[in-house]
Amino acid sequence: MTFIQRFLKVFPRSCLRKAIDYLSSGDYAKACSQFEIYISKKDHFSANDEKQELIRMYMSEAYIEYAKMLRNNGKFLEAYDLLQKVISLEPEYSDVYYMAAELNEKLGRLEQSRDNIRRALSINPNYFSARMFLAKLVYILDKESTKCVEELQKSLSCAPGFYVEKVNILARDIKNGSEEKNILLQFDDILRERASSAQVSKEIALESIQQGDFDYAITELKKALSMNPDFADLHNMLGIAFANKGLKDDAILEFKTALKINPEYLKAHINLSLTYYEKGSFEESLKHLEKVMQIDPENELALNLKEELTAVLQ
């Protein structure tokens, strides 16, 4: 039984369990539908409730993946509406604002697109692709080469090395009044191969985990952690990838690192409890489970796993 299968096993058999099942199998439309049913039945559900953090994370991922499918099928408005739901659940995802900006550009809503990009940069000022996108919008909307070049110069401080020359050439061509078609083609060339931010790496890793490619997920997460070592979410996901490969001790180390960063991180406590359970360290498993229940006494995952642990320990 893989780590994900063990994780799903402790979900109650309900629309929430169905939603997670559909998410894990890549059926994002059905996952979103089941999450909507779950919300409609839970009068106490709140997008701002820390106790619902785990569910919010999975709901957000389902909405994001379904939005990508809709975008790829040319359904830009429907995709944008789904991203607004993500923003209501997780307002600090800079990449969601970036994706919303792309959709607004396709819908011809350029001012809204610029607002989205500015919001992404307020969350992550070193987001290179967002810097480039803002420069492109300044070029299109303001028609001021000086302002556009200023934005391009700002992007150089966070540009990966292989982009620096392209950005400098683009800035030079804008200063020299190069043809607009040529300028826009250069912007699109740079933006086409997007430099991954932490959230992009996280999404790539999640997809890899769902597809069973744990080695690729580990590579992607380690790359993100080299730039963002204090992101508890990234350590938690790296632990999940290790656990799926059977590397329980490595997984435990990553979950513990996540908890050093955020001692009340419910997902990491639950994942640590599950990993200790799989390792046969039932007392340690129970300890972290009790921590979850101190924070969230009605946590459905913890209640179900405690039933299993109680039977084993008797």
**DSSP code for 14:** S
**DSSP code for 196:** P
The whole-angstrom separation of Cα 107 and Cα 80 is 10
Number of neighbouring beta carbons within 10 Å of residue 179:
9
pTM score: 0.62
Q: Please, what sign has the CA dihedral across residues 164, 169, 170, 174?
A: positive
DSSP structure string for 132-172: HHHHHHHHHHH--HHHHHHHHHHHGGG--HHHHHHHHHHHH
**Domains in the chain: ranges and CATH:** 198-313 (1.25.40.10)
58-72, 133-147, 190-204, 258-272: least confidently modelled range? 190-204
The whole-angstrom separation of Cα 225 and Cα 21 is 28
Whether the predicted pLDDT of 15 surpasses 80: no
Q: Please, what sign has the CA dihedral across residues 113, 114, 117, 118?
A: negative
**DSSP code for 52:** G
Residue 9 and residue 24 in contact, taking contact as beta carbons nearer than 8 Å: no
User: pLDDT band at residue 138, thresholds of 50, 70 and 90?
Assistant: very high
Amino acid 55: pLDDT: 75
Residue 49 and residue 61 in contact, taking contact as beta carbons nearer than 8 Å: no
User: pLDDT band at residue 98, thresholds of 50, 70 and 90?
Assistant: very high
Query: φ and ψ at 286, to 5 degrees?
Result: -65, -35
- Which has more confidence, 307 or 180? 180
**DSSP code for 1:** -
The whole-angstrom separation of Cα 242 and Cα 249 is 9
pLDDT digits (tens, 9 = 90+) for 236-295: 889 999 998 889 999 999 999 989 888 888 888 888 988 988 888 888 888 888 888 888
Residue 167 and residue 158 in contact, taking contact as beta carbons nearer than 8 Å: no
The whole-angstrom separation of Cα 35 and Cα 55 is 9
Q: Please, what sign has the CA dihedral across residues 66, 71, 75, 81?
A: positive
The whole-angstrom separation of Cα 71 and Cα 73 is 5
